[in-house]
Amino acid sequence: MAPRHLIPVTNAVEVLHRSLRKIIKSRGSFPADEAALKLLYLAIKNAGVHWWRPVEWTAAMGQFAIHFGARFPGTAR
């Protein structure tokens, strides 16, 4: 199995940017800058909940050792 399948490679910045644009666009206007900042803060806080995905580091490290050999720390090659 390729290492890229073992480690999540989703572009988190683009996902966050899209969700922030969606929230601001649906709102339209804000009475003050503080209201917009508060909404963005809450959106970022809620977005972090969906990003957690467990990583199988043992399998990933084994694949890195095979692919990178001596350049990967902890290998005897």
pTM for the whole thing? Answer: 0.49
Reduced to 3 states (helix: H, G, I; strand: E, B; else coil), residue 50 is helix
Domain chopping of the chain, boundaries = 3-7+16-69
Question: Is 39 within 8 Å of 24 (Cβ atoms)?
Answer: yes
Average pLDDT over residues 33-62: 80
List pLDDT tens digits, range 5-33: 545 555 667 778 888 898 888 887 889 99
Q: What is the pLDDT of residue 38?
A: 93
Q: What is the pLDDT of residue 52?
A: 63
Residue type at 53 in one-letter notation: R
Q: What is the mean pLDDT of the chain?
A: 76
Please say if the pLDDT value at position 56 is more than 90: no
| Residue appearing with tokens 């890229």 | 4
Question: Nearest CA to 1 among 55, 74, 77?
Answer: 55
